Amino acid sequence: MAVDELDTRILRLLLERPRTSVREYARILGIARGTLQARLDRLERDGVITGTGPSLSPAALGHPVLAFVHIEVTQGRLDDVGDALAAVPEIVEAFSIAGGGDLLTRVVARDNAHLEDVIQKVISLPGVVRTRTEVALRERVAYRLLPLVESVGRAARS
């Protein structure tokens, strides 16, 4: 799906002002509300816009410890382990990966003891061979997409 310059301007506004109305977005962009709505609908349909909910802070929810847990899985058990991981609330993301291990998870915890409990729960899952944990000390670059959107917009103008 091709994203043009207007699409990138729309995406930039959504990222910079997520709580603004469609009417206000249209006014800022100088386009008709119907045009904006049609663009938003297409961007959602094409999977560019994947959600509109708030971003939440696990730390503010009482889970300030962040770790990345690499999981090695018995051959043929990847789907089973993935399904089991989905039942662990402290696992906020899980990805199949190539390289060292089969799965990479993002895990949050209340403290280091709680992190150990979560890891022990993961280790006990059928199909898990071993884990390797890396604890994050400080976030250096927060999750962001605006620089990517701006890059796509520059490429669309070229």
- Residue 49 is predicted with a pLDDT of 95
What is the pLDDT, as a whole number, of residue 83?
A: 98
Q: How far apart are CA 77 and CA 4, in angstroms?
A: 42
pTM above 0.95, yes or no: no
Query: Dihedral of CA 140/59/133/94: which sign?
Result: negative
Question: How far apart are the C-alpha atoms of 20 and 87, rounded to whole Å?
Answer: 35
pLDDT tier at 10 (50, 70, 90 boundaries)? very high
